[in-house]
Chains A and B, each alone.
Chain A
Amino acid sequence: MRFLLDAEQRAFADSLNALLTAADTPPVIRAWATGDRTPGRALWSRLADAGVFALAVPEAYEGVGPLPAELAVAFIELGRHGVPGPLVETVAAAVLLSELGESGSAKRLLPALASGEALATVALPGGGPFVLDAEAADIHLTVDSPEAPTRDTTPPARLHLSGSGSGPTGSARPSLDPARHLTLPHPTGELLATGPHVTHAAAQALTWARLATAAQSLGVGLALLDRTVEYVKQRTQFGVPIGSFQAVKHQLADAKIALEFARPLLFGAALSMAPADVAAAKVAAGEAAYATARTALQLHGAIGYTAEYDLSLWLTKARALRTAWGSPAECRAEVLTVHGPRSTDSAVSGGDPRS
């Protein structure tokens, strides 16, 4: 049992952090928000060269995966630097295609995802009502069922593929995070597969999407904490740094506690890839990041409430990621699905032993 990142994983995180720091992401995020995707695609390509998207793609399709722990490492850094785009969605698309076991479409599409040539977006059951960044994506995958499930039967799922420019149009809704573009799914195009194996592959893809979102959230939270700690050290009021006030310190200590206890849940989930573990990690990371966002805003004061100050790029993302790929309530319900009773002892007297 050695539950720590190994040297190679730490070096991977450090190299991504260095790459993204040098890339100066805030202008890239702002450009993406206004629909200028050139800097975002250039950054995407460099992340792909560093191996990020190959982590979810099996070796048979020119990837290096599946490597969920390394993916979690990478997505913490992507969140830390606020990288825009359908990052989680591209991972989910890669998992969906590789899990289908139909080598035709996998061979056709996966190498381009691994290499960063193609961005994908995807709509899956349980993933939420919107498709992210459809206009920017080269590949659109939609899993749906032609009829509603009943108590006894689950109708066969269908997977549709459509390409760039043929995705949903006219239904765009603005996100609270200006760097995210939302549309409603529109299952059209080539029918790639249908049947229970599509349902299974979609469930696997959902688990990976939640893991990546949890990691991204943790990174967003860590960035918010770091920026706020730096700010309160240099911002003075009443002649002293506001970071010397106990009321300020305690809010930041709480943020630190929440983030540091989400981290082991994330890596534990990456090791097991059990849906309940991943859901737990998503709840913890999402709630920690969001609570940190609220603290960051409060401690920055009015400057933090402006779009021109970079903090806003992370503040809005923390809120958006909280409900992306499974709301806290959905994920909490998932946690309890496997937590069945283990005994028939009297519940009232069955409290925990005193310490």
Chain B
Amino acid sequence: MDLDHSPADEAFRAEARAWLAAHVPLAPLPSLETAEGFAAHRAWESELAADRWSVVSWPTAYGGRGVDIVRWLVFEEEYYAAGAPGRVSQNGINLLAPTLFDHGTQEQRARVLPSMATGETIWAQAWSEPEAGSDLASLTSRAVRTDGGWLLSGQKTWSSRAAFADRAFGLFRSEPDTPKPHQGLTYLMFDLRAPGVTVRPIGRLDGRPAFAELFLDSVFVPDEDVIGEVGQGWRVAMSTAGNERGLTLRSPGRFLAAADRLADLWRTHADPADTALRDRVADAVIGARAYQLFTYAGASRFAAGEPIGPESSLNKVFWSEYDIALHETALDLLGPEGELADTDWSEGYVFSLAGPLYAGTNEIQRDIIAERLLGLPKGRR
């Protein structure tokens, strides 16, 4: 058992650190939930991609560096320690790309991945529907066969980044009369600017359009944009959900850097007599380290050939609740200044509040932990 990185890993770390030191914008970019910020973040994706830092774990053919998961973790640690901007391409990179690597065709990968890596095409997820959130199998948006492709109709909601994104991916019911609700679903990609698509941005708590509703009225999608087999969308999507909750959605580097900044904030703003607040800062530092080491253990199992299993649900509940606690502590440290909406701490706070809601609510994750990891009997939800 060890935590030692190889000399090659350390060389990779040094290379990443040097590049980031030379390229990370000095001033924070505007919020990516605004049109101006979205454009600035898109340009940043392009700058990353120019030197192959946007998708380091992808094969070189698609703009990556082909590095393993340990080196990906190293890169992420450096990325966030350098104070680099949040990733506007994350939905595509973390959710769609792994699906294409597992289930896509050679043609789809060659067509979709390079422009995703450069930020030229920004992807939004389109999973949820007004009556289908955590119970994704109950979704009702339809894909109807037509000449050379499919016609999509229905309504999607809580579509992150869709207010400014270019394309989207999600599940549609292609066979309406199947015996079980998770059968007869097909995984499709579609253009957010295609005829028949209406995007209605939805303001999140602070009013910024972090997500949108999508109204689809006979939107044509060619056959080449079906991922995996027709009717097998559930199986395809579940591998994506595993990725989302698993090792790659929230990198430990993000929380390590945030905990470092929180400790700095504590040193400059703390009332030394407030030991309750001190203890919360310590817990944030401990939590970041716990998450890093838990992820290293998972990466070690993954490298040894074991699949990512239901333990990814442990991960999702942990980071989502940790993220809120960390930001609440920062706002409490700031006192009345914590109310200000134009700081990165408050932006991070608003963002963190969504964590227990998306990627499968934490209630669903706790059910998964109880049933699949602890072996408790199924019951009514």
Residues on A facing B (Cβ under 8 Å): 1-6, 9, 69, 225, 229, 232-233, 240-241, 243-246, 248-250, 252-254, 256-257, 260-265, 267-268, 271-272, 277, 280, 283-284, 328-329, 332-333, 335-336, 339-343, 345, 347-355
Contacts and interface: CB of A to CB of B under 8 A. Distances in A.
Interface string B1-44: 11111100100000000000000000010011000000000000
Q: Which of A1, A69, A241, A328 has the most CB of B within 10 A?
A: A1
A155 to B, nearest CB: 26
A267 B275 CA distance: 28
B212 interface: no
Contacts, number: 223
16 contacts: A2-B2, A232-B376, A261-B287, A261-B290, A265-B293, A271-B2, A283-B286, A336-B278, A336-B285, A339-B260, A339-B263, A345-B264, A347-B269, A351-B258, A353-B83, A353-B84
B334 A335 contact: no
Contact of A353 (B86, B264, B282): B86
B194 interface: no
A271 B90 CA distance: 34
Given A1-B70, A257-B318, A332-B283, 20 more contacts: A2-B1, A3-B2, A3-B3, A229-B376, A233-B375, A240-B379, A246-B379, A253-B374, A260-B311, A263-B294, A265-B293, A277-B289, A280-B285, A283-B282, A335-B285, A348-B340, A352-B261, A353-B28, A355-B86, A355-B351
A153 B290 CA distance: 36
Contacts of A257: 314, 317-318, 369
B254 interface: yes
Contacts of B255: 352
A244 B378 contact: yes
A246 B380 CA distance: 8
Contacts of A351: 258, 261, 330, 343-348
Contacts of A352: 80, 254-255, 257-258, 261, 326, 344-345, 348
Given A3-B300, A246-B381, A348-B345, A229 B2 contact: no
A249 B1 contact: no
Interface residues of B, number: 85
B2 A284 contact: no
Contacts of B28: 349, 353
Contacts of B371: 249
Contacts of B289: 265, 268, 277, 280
Task: Tell me if B's interface is mostly helix, strand, loop or mixed.
Answer: helix
Interface string B283-301: 1011101110110110111
A348 B334 CA distance: 8
B357 interface: no
Contacts of B273: none
Contacts of B296: 1, 3, 264
Contact of A260 (B31, B294, B367): B294
User: Which 8 residue pairs spanning A and B have beta carbons closest together?
Assistant: A351-B344, A244-B379, A352-B258, A249-B370, A264-B293, A332-B282, A354-B86, A351-B345
B9 A353 contact: no
A75 B180 CA distance: 48
B113 interface: no
A355 B87 contact: yes
Contacts of B70: 1
